[in-house]
A and B are shown apart, each in its own frame.
Chain A
Amino acid sequence: MSLSIWLGSLEQGLLWGAMVLGVYITFRVLDYPDLTVDGTFTLGAAITAHCILLGYSPWVALLVAVLCGGLAGMVTAFLHTGLRVAPLLSGILTMIALYSINLRIMGQANLSLLREQTIFTRVGEIALLEPWGPLLLALTVVVLVVGLLYLFLQTELGMSVRATGDNEQMIRSLGVNTGTMKLVGLAIGNALVALSGSLVAQYQGFADVGMGIGMIIAGLAAVIIGEALVGNQTLFRSLLAAIAGSIVYRAVIGLVLQLGMPATDLKLFTSLIVVIALAFPLVRQRLGFRSLRLRGEGVAETGKYTQDLPSRRD
């Protein structure tokens, strides 16, 4: 593969990385299977394209996209906590509603940003950075997002969101309104997904109403790949894993496309990756071998514990 292809998957990995972080927040941190993502990603792209075509600065477009993404997440959270709709269904409902909303925003199925100013055309104009401009910009955005997220997850609020995903009953008994925490978590997760949608639309130079389809599975695949490669022992590592997973995923996609797989088969391929990754622990267990690295964590995952508490009296 040529440099440009590697550079391309690195750029894309970072840009879609924000989406993967969003999926990580909802699926892993909040333990909420949020399917809004497919709709929110397109929403971010649609709003960005619309705003840019209206003549707003691409940065303003990005900001509006992020805010609207957060709002979409709140709708899902409200359906679940306010109206008691099941988690999966509330995500699907918002996602389907967003499909129509996205079409309305764009006015047509596809909006081109050709010859429009985007954040990438601007860095592309700086000759000194050629051809690293888009990569540096993507890297800056992702580093900023990871940094902010890392800090947030260690605040009182962030820790309460994490605890809500871990043990809802416990954190409620500690005086936290878990409904509010789900609202916060889903808003942040979907804001990140919309950010990613906005970045990708500006990078590709168009927004398409179908661009979010299967995004949730791509995000999950990246999260799983990242956790396998980087691990999730600490908070920082988990965030890093999401980005690393995203980059590897895009590289793999780039590779199989190079090898001649039709682009239309990509979603099937991604689904298979996720199925294999999800089935892997079971297969490993059946075959009777476990990696040493995972043995310590097995205790936490299976919830089994041994009572080796020393008695104070002896």
Chain B
Amino acid sequence: MLRLENIHKIFHPGGINEKVALKGINLFVRAGDVVTIIGSNGAGKSTLLNVIAGVYRVDGGKVILDGEDITHWPEHIRAARIGRVFQDPLQGTAASMTIEENLALALRRGRSRRLRPGITQAERQLFKERLALLGLGLENRLSTRVGLLSGGQRQALAVLMATIATPKILLLDEHTAALDPRTAATVMELTERIIARHRLTTLMVTHNLAQALHTGNRTIMMHEGRIILDLCGPERERTTVADLLRMFEQASGDAFTYDRALLSGS
């Protein structure tokens, strides 16, 4: 489904702030795979997702999605095939617009925007059905402005928006990290339900090691722009959070006490 070939990405090349973010990433993700991505801050996790989404152009390598070489496609063209949820609940929704308007915009992901009505009655019905599945009572608040919703509600809506026009691949960038633990659990649970329902190929960045092992069928660990661990199948099932921490320390040295605290926190 998704193939990354020798991806390189350098920020501010030649300058004093030069930062090599990705150093030759090779990754093949099969259709239906749900891959969790872990690693310390600055490991390149978010950069990887942004390279796939087309936010950043690569400095070397190829991005191939479902047989098409999308390496040089601009972000808004790739968006037709890619669903994304950001870390910040404010980033994934338009606050001044209503719930139904946000969903209508999302339903037309990848289609050209013409002078047709922005929302049809049939679509309102669809939105109500889908919102009811979230179990948050949003189905009765179609014309409420999104800015009036809580962070958790907005993030739940963002997940629905990313998937309402079924994407070829779903990219989740720590999308529950900004929520309180209970809300995060709720949003994670409905994310998993939506992924299962549509059998979505998914890449999910997370800081939560337990979640990384529990969610999906494959886990990769990144460190300093490289993939240093790729777990799946029985090997992954045997792995514990403690194992992951140990592997991480082996790869990075013991200097990352801050990361250790961050990674072990559930």
Contact = CB atoms under 8 A, between A and B. Distances in A.
Contacts of B94: 162-163, 166-167, 170-171
B97 A162 contact: yes
A308 interface: yes
Nearest to B118: A159
Interface stretch (B35-43, B181-189, B257-265): B181-189
A176 interface: yes
B110 A307 contact: no
B164 to A, nearest CB: 10
B109 A174 contact: yes
Contact of A305 (B89, B105, B114): B89
Contacts of B139: none
Interface stretch (B17-25, B142-150, B225-233): B142-150
A242 B47 CA distance: 43
Contacts of B186: 309-313
Interface in B205-235: none
A264 to B, nearest CB: 39
Given A159-B97, A307-B180, A312-B135, A174 B108 contact: yes
A28 to B, nearest CB: 9
Interface in A255-311: 296, 299-301, 303, 305-311
A177 B74 CA distance: 9
Contacts of A155: 113-118
A313 B149 CA distance: 20
Nearest to A161: B113
B147 A173 contact: no
Given A173-B79, A300-B145, A306-B150, A156 B118 contact: yes
Contacts of A313: 185-186, 189
Interface string B68-81: 00000011110110
Nearest to A29: B96
Nearest to A184: B113
B93 A170 contact: yes
B30 interface: no
B53 interface: yes
A157 B114 contact: yes
B256 to A, nearest CB: 29
Nearest to B187: A309
Contact of B95 (A152, A167, A169, A308): A167
A156 B108 contact: yes
A175 B80 contact: yes
Interface in A126-172: 152, 154-160, 162-163, 166-167, 169-172
Contacts of A160: 105, 113
A110 interface: no
A158 B118 contact: yes
A176 B165 CA distance: 14
B3 to A, nearest CB: 22
Given A169-B91, A300-B148, A305-B150, A163 B115 contact: no
A163 B152 contact: no
A264 B251 CA distance: 73
A152 B62 CA distance: 40
Nearest to B90: A303
A162 B96 contact: yes
25 contacts: A152-B115, A154-B119, A155-B113, A155-B115, A156-B118, A157-B113, A157-B115, A159-B97, A159-B104, A159-B118, A166-B94, A166-B95, A170-B91, A172-B75, A174-B108, A175-B79, A176-B79, A299-B148, A300-B147, A305-B150, A308-B150, A308-B152, A309-B136, A310-B136, A310-B186
